[in-house]
Amino acid sequence: MVQSDEGIYHIIGLAQISIRLIAMNELSESDMLSLKVMVRDADEANVRAFIEESQKYSNPGDKSDADAVLQVSYSANLSLFRRLRGDEKMCEGLRELMAEDLEEKLNEGISLGIAGAVATLRKHGIDNATIIADICDQFGLTEKEAKKYL
């Protein structure tokens, strides 16, 4: 085993593939921040630093990677993220990083609401033309988009 970096060990000869062992408690404060936040009981300062660093990303791939790291960290550190939600700066940073996911969930919720409204209107005997007109008006849909819910 050869130490290739602080906290990172390269295991040679054990298998036909390259193996790297990462000792999380040996990583330096600034290095490998993304790995340090993906553990249970992650240090709050590291999570804050990762969120702040991630806000600077402009490349969509980097943002997507940061979002994936945050999802793992969130799952492992639910109580920490609940506390961070109360911090306006952190909350805004999380919203920016997860904007695409939030938009997707919002659209799913709207679709479920429209489908529920259509079912209720049909249950009360409202004709399709009226339903289409109502959901176009209420949700700002085109007639073609509204017809998908019938």
Q: Residue type for 65, please?
A: D
| Same-domain pairing of 39 and 84 | yes
Same domain, yes or no: 36 and 63: yes
How many structural domains are present in the chain?
A: 3
Does pLDDT of 129 surpass 90?
Answer: yes
Range(s) of the domain holding residue 72: 32-97
Does one domain contain both 76 and 115? no
* Domain identity same for 17 and 56: no
48 and 91 share one domain? yes
- Per-residue pLDDT of 23-79, as tens digits, reads 877 777 666 788 888 889 999 999 988 888 888 888 888 888 888 888 889 889 988
pLDDT at 142: 92
Give the pLDDT mean for 89-100.
70
108 and 137 together in one domain? yes
Task: Supply the pLDDT for residue 53.
Answer: 87
Residues 22 and 37 in one domain: no
Note whether 3 and 36 are same-domain residues: no
Say if residue 92 is in the same domain as residue 38: yes
- For residue 29, the model assigns a pLDDT of 63
The count of residues in the chain is 150
0.85 cut: is pTM over it? no
- Residue 145's Cβ-count burial label (10 Å; 0-12, 13-18, 19+) is middle
Alpha carbons 131 and 26: distance in angstroms, whole number: 62
Does position 105 have pLDDT exceeding 90, yes or no? no
Residue 133 confidence class, pLDDT cut points 50, 70, 90: very high
Same domain assignment for residues 58 and 106: no
Same domain, yes or no: 89 and 110: no
Are 93 and 48 within one domain?
yes
Helices (H), 31-147: 33-36, 44-54, 60-76, 78-85, 88-97, 99-123, 128-139, 143-147
